[in-house]
Amino acid sequence: MKTLALLSLLITLSASLSKSSHQGDGGSSGGNLHGNIDGFTVDLIHRDSPLSPLYNPSYAPYDLVQNAFLRSISRASCLSRRAGFTFSTKIEADISEVPGEYIMSIQIGTPPVVVLGVADTGSDLTWAQCQPCQNCYKQDNIPYLVPSSSSTYQALSCQSKACEALDENQSSCDSENMCHYKMMYGDRSYTSGDLAIDTFWFGSTSLKNVVFGCGHDNNGTFNENVSGIIGLGGGPLSLVNQLKSVVKGQFSYCLIPQYNDIINQTSKIYFGDLAKVTGPNVVSTPIVPKEPSTYYYITLESVLVGNNSLSYERSVSKNKVVKGNIIIDSGTTLTLVNADFHSELTSALTEAIGGQIVEDPQGLFQLCYRDLDLQRVPNMTFRFDGADVELPPTSTFLEVQRGMSCLTIVPSDELAIFGNLLQQNLLVGYDLVNEKLYFRPTDCMRHE
């Protein structure tokens, strides 16, 4: 009963939608959606929140923190390999991986069926487990999709634009010319099935002909309390790109702090006009088009530690300006930066903070303090191209064990990632039409 009550809570969506019908031709990568929607809001539930179906009450708070960090390393490896890097680390991250840290509840089909998916800015294709299941992971308390039960479901042909949008190694055709997809993840988890369209529901308003993967063969380390993945990346088959004409290519989110206190409150994700980030303190930086198109690349120029400016470009590329040298990702907890730059950063922080550095027994962090007084920690400002984002000590240092706080920025010689701990209490807006990323300091606990 507790699980069912929790599921009912997750289904509750805050939606502000006009009543309009959205038709499509059934074959485009974006469903050919049209309409006049003001926007809609959905709860974005952190997987370690007591409101999440993935929450494990047997874990102590520091266990949740350590597991989140290990997932972060595993995810960074996954994202780096897809970007063409050979990710290597001394940290062993042998932990069941869900490819993201936040959960969304939507509905698919006519009549609508609840889909509880991992919201992932590092994936494009939305998919959910479908019956009949040839080889599916166990799924508890959430219904499987049954294509034959939906009057609006339609499998797509190999000549559809959506099928053509898949990479060659992600698509295949059967004897009836139906398009099949297959997605592999870095931990050898996978999903495969039929590429299809159906009606997606946000609250009471429907969006027709949205492309998704109806997964009949899905396995690996996916959690039994989620249906699949909701793709929010930058590629053509992502949910936000498919709905571009409806939501104007805009979505934003406001992430509440997670690990300082365990709270019964959700973050929010906004689409359409409601996603606009405005106000006197808004800054913006270009989203740099690069491969893979899934990722949101931005340009980090320097980091300000108090009044001490550290050039990221000088550390990484000997003064050569490299556009798109870091991605922003809501599904990675830690922030990863170039190892040489990380060494400069820790030196600057050590000088500013003083005190006795202690060793992290887990071997993950290079800069840790016992009983750290956060008032001694200077604010850090990440200076992106055109956007200075000031970060308080509560984001850059976190208590990882009782009495021991560590810098949540770690070194990597592969893909640099601006993770979700540093995005807390920021309204982060994505404008895919104008290729802009927006930041505004916000108390996300109060933001609606």
Share of the chain above pLDDT 70, in %: 85
Other Cβ atoms within 10 Å of 280 Cβ, number: 5
Task: Tally the residues of the chain.
Answer: 448
Structural domains of the chain sorted by starting position, each given as residue range(s) with its CATH number in brackets: 2-54+98-242 (2.40.70.10), 277-441 (2.40.70.10)
Secondary structure (3-state) at 387:
strand
**CA–CA distance, 98 with 229 (Å, rounded to integer):** 9
pTM, two decimals, is 0.88
Q: Look up tokens 């996300």; give the residue.
A: 444
The mean per-residue pLDDT over the stretch 294-300 comes to 97
The 10s digit of each residue's pLDDT in 336-365 is: 999 999 999 999 999 999 988 999 988 888
Catalytic residue among 43, 194, 329, 431: 329
Q: What is the mean pLDDT of the chain?
A: 85
Which one is predicted more confidently, 166 or 55?
Answer: 166
- 329 an active-site residue? yes
pLDDT band at 18 (very low <50, low <70, confident <90, very high): very low
**CA–CA distance, 290 with 285 (Å, rounded to integer):** 15
Q: Provide the H-helix boundaries in 321-411.
A: 339-353, 393-396
pLDDT band at 100 (very low <50, low <70, confident <90, very high): confident
pLDDT band at 394 (very low <50, low <70, confident <90, very high): very high
Which one is predicted more confidently, 329 or 446?
Answer: 329
The 10s digit of each residue's pLDDT in 196-228 is: 999 999 876 689 999 999 999 999 878 888 999
Q: At residue 43, does pLDDT exceed 70?
A: yes
Q: What is the pLDDT of residue 172?
A: 96
Catalytic residue among 48, 120, 187, 194: 120
Q: What is the pLDDT of residue 363?
A: 83
The mean per-residue pLDDT over the stretch 59-64 comes to 79
CA distances from 11 to 1, 270, 318 (A): 15, 16, 50
pLDDT band at 322 (very low <50, low <70, confident <90, very high): confident
The 10s digit of each residue's pLDDT in 230-261 is: 999 999 999 999 998 899 999 999 999 877 56
pLDDT band at 186 (very low <50, low <70, confident <90, very high): low
Q: At residue 151, does pLDDT exceed 50?
A: yes
- 120 an active-site residue? yes
Which one is predicted more confidently, 75 or 405?
Answer: 405
**CA–CA distance, 100 with 221 (Å, rounded to integer):** 12
Least confident of 64-78, 261-275, 388-402: 64-78
Q: Look up tokens 């959606």; give the residue.
A: 33
pLDDT band at 5 (very low <50, low <70, confident <90, very high): very low
CA distances from 90 to 46, 64, 73, 334 (A): 27, 21, 10, 16
